Amino acid sequence: MHQVEIATTQQTVLDSPVMTLNMGPQHPSTHGVLRVILKLDGETVIDLDCDIGYLHRGMEKIAENRTYTMIAPYWDRLDYIAAVSNGLVWVETVEQMMGLDVPRRAHYIRTILTELNRIASHLLWLGTHALDIGAVTILLWAFREREEILKIFERQFGARLTCHAWRVGGMPNDSYDDFEQDVRRFIGNIAGRLDEYETVLSENRIWLSRTVGVGVISGADAIAIGLSGPALRGSGVAWDIRKARPYAAYADVDFDVPLGDNGDTYDRYLVRMEEMRQSRRIIQQAIDNLPDGPVNAKVPKLIKPPIGDYYHSIEGPKGEIGCYLVSDGTQQPWRMRVRPPCFMNLQALKKLCIGHLVADVVAIIGTLDIVLGEIDR
Amino acid sequence: MPLVSVPKLTFAQKLKRFFMIDLLKGLGVTLKFNVGALTDKDAVAGKGIYTEQYPKVRPDVAPRFHGAPRLNMDPETHETLCIACNLCALACPEDCIDVIPMDVEVVVAGKPRRKKVLDEFIFDTSRCMFCALCQEACPTYCLELTQDFELATYSRAGFVWNREMLEQGRETVKYEA
Ligand code: SF4
Ligand code: SF4
């Protein structure tokens, strides 16, 4: 692994007046409607500010006027790239609040499909990140693999992106007939495909010069800012909720948590690539041990969690996605709060970008893997 | 202002760079796919080309797909299965369903009775998020989200489907392959 040193200099490179530049909100590389106000000295970023909220839909407020069953599809629309894991946070929060006993088969299928979703999310990240940096081929390949996952989602849930995957207490349907076969075929293919991506990218000189040493953040800083997910693990902090507080069937499967050394864009890339391989391992174990049985718990007709509050979080593809729920004993929550991983990760943008060139801002936005639907909610 | 210094390369790495091993390896992989696309007998079915030739070749949509809504009818009598119970409208998070019932006089076992039947059914597909909660709520399997996915129209009003459209489905242009 490369060692990176950070030197500081007080001198501006060019003795030019500071220029303010708006990047976005319609910029294709900001991954949505993000407006970044850059203060530039020549091409070097000396300060930046994010303007968010273009996609605000008031999800948390909407949830106060919906029943617990109705809220689930709204969760898909937070981080629409990872709708299946988002849905899992919501149903698990309600289930744990009500003390429902979800059958093992449902837990296993949930594990398989959320891990598939993690791969799909990382593939989309890889494709767009590489495209931002200038490697167009990877985008097409990543979407080819992602398509296979979306096909599985379509057959299982009836939708490709916003799946509305789970119901409180279990799943809307048991797995479809060829489910195991499809999943096995996919995990059989993906390993070789990941090697292909790495052959093209990992040693490529352009890729290296665009990512190594770009957007460095130390572990301590990452924790202070509140980063989570691959952005945190890229800085070498071993924190993965799948290990720390296992949910679904993660306690039964064996996997490693990849860590980076330098906390730069290249390390976060390696971490995500390795995470996809680990996801493949998890899916392999879960599908081999898939238990039989029902997929739904006994759920009361009216879902009314007991009075009180509860917080539950899972390791989404982007980081810790959590739900804080306050129930007043009625059919609708009194307050629902989303703990958004991308929102927290976006805070690091300023720290990561200062001192880099404008072109690196694009790479850094890509490496943070943000989805504006969830930042703005 | 932090500036980052990128590490010096080792001799082996420099040698690899000089002979462009990194680029050639990548090119080898891309070339493999190019050759595959050109030499496969049926590139679309084989490994080479993954693009779906829509609209000429229509995609094979999964049976569970949540697409255009439909009100199912009894296959024998061709009467609607809807009993105007309003459960779908109550289940919908987005309030896109309006069930308008009407009372009719029917004769049951020789006595006149009033019965609630379906008069009109309004389904706003522009606000629908295809979550299928309405389909799950329907007790008679009347309301169903079908495999039709072509929902675009030229006007906002066109997104609001009435009973006739829900029962007959919508005409879409089918292209020849
Ligand atoms: S699919 Fe969902 S949003 Fe659409 S009408 Fe049915 S319940 Fe409402
Ligand atoms: S739930 Fe079914 S039967 Fe009841 S009103 Fe809706 S479509 Fe008709």
Give the pLDDT band of residue B42 (cuts 50, 70, 90). low
pLDDT at B1 over 50: no
Report cis status (omega within 30 of 0) of the bond before A25.
Answer: yes
In short, whether B68's Cβ falls inside 6 Å of ligand 2 is no
Please state the atom number of ligand 1 nearest to the C-alpha of residue B132: 1
> Comparing A5-14, A180-189, A290-299, A307-316, which segment has the lowest mean pLDDT?
A5-14
Give the closest residue (by CA) to ligand 1 atom 7: B92
Mean pLDDT of A295-317: 86
The mean predicted confidence, pLDDT, of chain A is: 84
In 3D space, the residue among A121, A67, A138, A75 whose CA is nearest the CA of residue A301 turns out to be: A67
ipTM of the complex: 0.78
Q: Is the dihedral of CA A8, A207, A279, A312 positive or negative?
A: positive
Closest residue CA from atom 7 of ligand 2: B143
pLDDT at residue number A1: 41
Out of A309-323, B11-25, B35-49, B64-78, least confident range: B35-49
A71 touches chain B (CB under 8 A): yes
Q: Looking at residues B117-144, what average pLDDT do you find?
A: 87
pLDDT at site B49: 66
Distance CA A268, CA A232 (A): 9
Check CB contact of A39 with chain B, cutoff 8 Å: no
pLDDT at B105: 82
Tell me the DSSP string of A306-352: PSEEEEEEEE-SSSEEEEEEEE-SSSSEEEEEEE-HHHHHHTHHHHH
Residues A187-196, buried b or exposed e (16+ Cβ, 10 A)?
A: beebeebbeb
Q: Give the CATH H-level superfamily of domain A67-341.
A: Cytochrome-c3 Hydrogenase, chain B (1.10.645.10)
Checking if the pLDDT of B123 tops 60, the result is yes
What pLDDT digit, counting tens, does each position of A118-155 carry? 999 999 998 888 888 888 888 888 888 888 888 899 98
**Cβ atoms of residues A54 and A372 within 8 Å:** yes
Residue A260: is it exposed, middle or buried by C-beta count within 10 angstroms (0-12/13-18/19+)?
A: buried
Q: Give, in order, the Cα–Cα distances in Å from A168 to each of A93, A102, A157, A171.
A: 9, 9, 15, 8
| Residues A187-213: tens digit of each pLDDT | 888 888 888 888 888 777 788 888 887
Q: Give the pocket of ligand 1 (CB within 6 Å).
A: B 91-94, 96-97, 128-134
Q: What is the helix (H) or strand (E) element at residue A45, kind and residue range?
A: strand A44-51
Query: Distance from A254 to chain B by nearest Cα, in Å?
Result: 32
Position B6 confidence tier, pLDDT thresholds 50, 70, 90: low
| pLDDT tens-digit readout, A45-97 | 888 888 888 888 888 888 888 888 889 889 888 888 888 989 899 999 998 88
Ligand nearest to the CA of B159: 1
Is residue A346 within 8 Å of residue A51, measured between CB atoms? no
Question: What is the model's pLDDT at position B2?
Answer: 43
Among B70, B81, B83, B98, name the best residue to mutate to test ligand 2's pocket (greatest count of ligand atoms within 8 A of Cβ): B83
Q: How many CA atoms lie within 13 A of B109 on its CB side?
A: 0
Percent of chain A with pLDDT over 70: 96
The model's pLDDT over A280-297, given as tens digits with 9 standing for 90+, comes to: 889 988 888 888 888 888
